[in-house]
Amino acid sequence: MSEYLLRAVDIVKNFAGVKALQGVSLDIKPGEIHCLAGENGCGKSTLIKVISGVYQPDGGYIEFNGQRYTSITPRESIAMGIQVIYQDFAIFPNLTVMENLAFNTELAAGHKFVNKKRMRQIATEALSKINFDVELDRLVGSLSVAEKQMVAICRALMFDAKLIIMDEPTTALTKKEVAALFEIILKLKAQGIAILFVSHKLNEVFEISERFTILRSGQLIATGNTSDLDDKKFTFYMTGREFEDVKFKPAFEAEKPVLEVKNLTVPGAFEDVSFELKPGQILGITGLLDSGRTELSLALFGLRKASGGDILMKGQKVTIENPRDAIAAGIGLVPEDRLSEGLFLPQPISDNIVISEIDGLSGALSVVDRKRRQDEVDKWVRDLAIATPNPDNACTTLSGGNQQRIVLAKWLACKPDVLILNGPTVGVDIGSKHDIHAILQRLANQGMAVIIISDDLPEVLENCSDLLVMRAGRIVAQLDPATTDEALVLQHMM
């Protein structure tokens, strides 16, 4: 019996000339919580797929319980006790909890006919492993994201799992749900199950893991005990760059507010919300998922109908009933889900950048002036350092961070007075996150008023000049980020 449950040694994997993994090693001890971190495209997913048998490595070997394999099949991987919980959980939303839990076992046993009694038994047993309580006959599609994840975990536990790999499990969870998940992870650890936790969120890595491995561009950068790691090192390992945390300080103090919101109410979402925003300010709005923060951003952009209250731009009352009104009034919104709400993913990067200012680029007869369009595209690709070989490539070819920059470019091109960003760095890697923060601070210093809506507390504390906390549809606190810490903000949020 070796010291390690799993060792992946010098794994090499190439895809059509692209070196996805260049001799990466990963060691996992029995019953440990190990964090695998790295920016998008660093080879994390490829490594997981090699371990779970989906990909066959081009070099290196895998050792499981001292047994050496040059490659494994998915079936062998499962038989050895390796289970992967994918980001999409690999569940069937159209089927019941019972069927979702029991299918794998039933199929593995080669049963041809449905036996509800046996399936119910399997499902009940699976749920009891983590004491998860849910109606067996409910459709999985009607469960919350966290509940779906629990179903996926229960299912993974049924095969005598020794190692559970969780691929960015906290992405769509609220703070409370993350806490519940961590509790379960600790419970699993107590049962001797090792967890490989894939994440690029700093605070989670520190909170849950005992050891870490960090990859960058297909290479192993660092591995060791999490206790030896700090924020600065972590960020450096991830990105290969040093960042200085710049606390935002407004460069100037404007006299008059550009945006005033008075007693704004959207029934069922939030009520009686008032605040004002001056040019050069960055206002943070934070709160839990159902606090009404997202609805507030949508209402300011004309996507949610307000039943009462006023919105004033530069002292003038404006009526905002749809996004066009909002754009005309000088308000831009970078939405929460940039993939479905902010970008035309299959379309070229260039078209995505100019889409909002297309009217301004057209000459006589509303024909788009190609040269001016090209100038504009070049300018933004340069200004925001969008990493692309060709702006005419589709947006799908970019990483999350670069996609977010395009959404930003799109709005900056219209020169709004007020720019609202909802979760500006969700799903964005650390390097891009810093860059985006720097861009926002620069914009504010150039005179734009910015609103950041986010539940990433370090983000709002660091980048905002003022902070509003929302709870259950109301503003419950107005804080000064310079004198506030996370614990205090959390207190107001809960």
In the complex, what is the shortest distance from the CB of residue 90 to another protein, in angstroms, rounded to a whole number? 4
| 163-167 and 194-198 beta bridge pairing | parallel
In the complex, what is the shortest distance from the CB of residue 301 to another protein, in angstroms, rounded to a whole number? 14
95 makes contact with another protein (CB under 8 A) = yes
Sign of the alpha-carbon torsion through 179, 172, 431, 36: positive
Binding-site size for another protein (CB under 8 A) equals 24
**Separation CA 358–CA 332 (nearest Å):** 15
336 makes contact with another protein (CB under 8 A) = no
91 makes contact with another protein (CB under 8 A) = yes
In the complex, what is the shortest distance from the CB of residue 113 to another protein, in angstroms, rounded to a whole number? 5
Q: Which of 290, 341, 351, 383 binds another protein (CB under 8 A)?
A: 290
Q: Which of 45, 46, 104, 465 binds another protein (CB under 8 A)?
A: 104
**Separation CA 63–CA 278 (nearest Å):** 60
In the window 70-89, what residues touch another protein (CB under 8 A)?
A: 86, 88
Nearer to another protein (CB atom), residue 99 or residue 204: 99
Hey, how many other C-beta atoms are within 10 angstroms of the C-beta on 347? 14
DSSP string across 5-45? SEEEEEEEEEETTEEEEEEEEEEE-TT-EEEEE--TTSSHH
103 makes contact with another protein (CB under 8 A) = yes
In the complex, what is the shortest distance from the CB of residue 388 to another protein, in angstroms, rounded to a whole number? 29
Nearer to another protein (CB atom), residue 91 or residue 398: 91
In the window 253-282, what residues touch another protein (CB under 8 A)?
A: 267-269
Structural Rg of the chain based on CA atoms: 25
The SS3 assignment for 86 reads coil
**Separation CA 478–CA 284 (nearest Å):** 10
- Structural contact between residues 418 and 449, judged by C-beta atoms closer than 8 angstroms: yes
145 makes contact with another protein (CB under 8 A) = no
107 makes contact with another protein (CB under 8 A) = yes
Nearer to another protein (CB atom), residue 135 or residue 230: 135
**Residues 6 or more apart from 15 whose CB is under 8 A from it?**
none
Q: Which of 56, 70, 73, 92 binds another protein (CB under 8 A)?
A: 92
Return phi, psi of residue 488, to 5°.
-65, -40
Q: Which of 66, 68, 70, 93 binds another protein (CB under 8 A)?
A: 93
Per CB under 8 A, residues contacting another protein are 86, 88, 90-95, 99, 103-104, 106-108, 111-114, 267-269, 290, 295, 304
